[in-house]
Amino acid sequence: MSALEENATYFARLQCRFFTLVPDIVSPKTSLAVTLHGYGMRPEPMLHLTSDLLGPDWIVASLQAPNQHYASNPGEGKAVYNWGTRDHWEEAARLHHEMVLAVLAELRERFGADASRCLLAGFSQPVGLNYRFCATYPGQVGGVLALCGGVPRDWEDGHYTGVDAAILHIAREEDEFYPPAAVAEYPRRLRLRAPDVEFHLLPGGHRFPSRAGTVVRPWLERVFGLPAPTGA
């Protein structure tokens, strides 16, 4: 008689972390950004990359992804983090949404920021998760900054609402993970659920577009009504 193999699931508490940069002067008009790093990265570099791109007047919070692995030899390398794998993407999306909701709520309460003054940013892996979030929880942010990432595979047929946040999607011409042939359809696909979509294809490979200030600055000014940061 053969044994019966069973698969069971359960929930356990997870300790989550995020890092913040807060300007010296914070007013009711100060905007805040929640930013998410890519696969195999750490939240601290993403914090400073995003702050440099947005400008010194922004409150920036960088979330640490919930899953950790070693970038190199475990005995030598630091832990790096990721947002999940394809085999468990539904669970990864649920956890991502809970984390973003919790951080947005804490920051809005702490700084008195209206949802319309909140930006959700992401580089690479979490871009699709951020799109899912905004199409599941409308009214949470005023803008979405998507850097070198993808549009969800089920964007057309998934159980999503319309996206009321403005979207700025920046892709790269030599991106080995999101090549131009694939990203060419992103503007059309995004506009199926979001009326305000701006798309740019910039030179370079799959790296954080640190010099995209000339694209990001006017968009920030238009969407959030704030003076744009100086510098590229």
The pLDDT, as a whole number, for residue 146 is 98
Residue 149 burial class via C-beta count within 10 angstroms: exposed 0-12, middle 13-18, buried 19 and up: buried
Q: What is the pTM of this model?
A: 0.92
Segments in the chain below pLDDT 70: 1, 73-76, 226-232
3-state secondary structure of 109: helix
The pLDDT, as a whole number, for residue 73 is 67
Residue 162 burial class via C-beta count within 10 angstroms: exposed 0-12, middle 13-18, buried 19 and up: exposed
The pLDDT, as a whole number, for residue 1 is 66
Q: Which domains are present in the chain?
A: 18-222 (3.40.50.1820)
The pLDDT, as a whole number, for residue 27 is 84
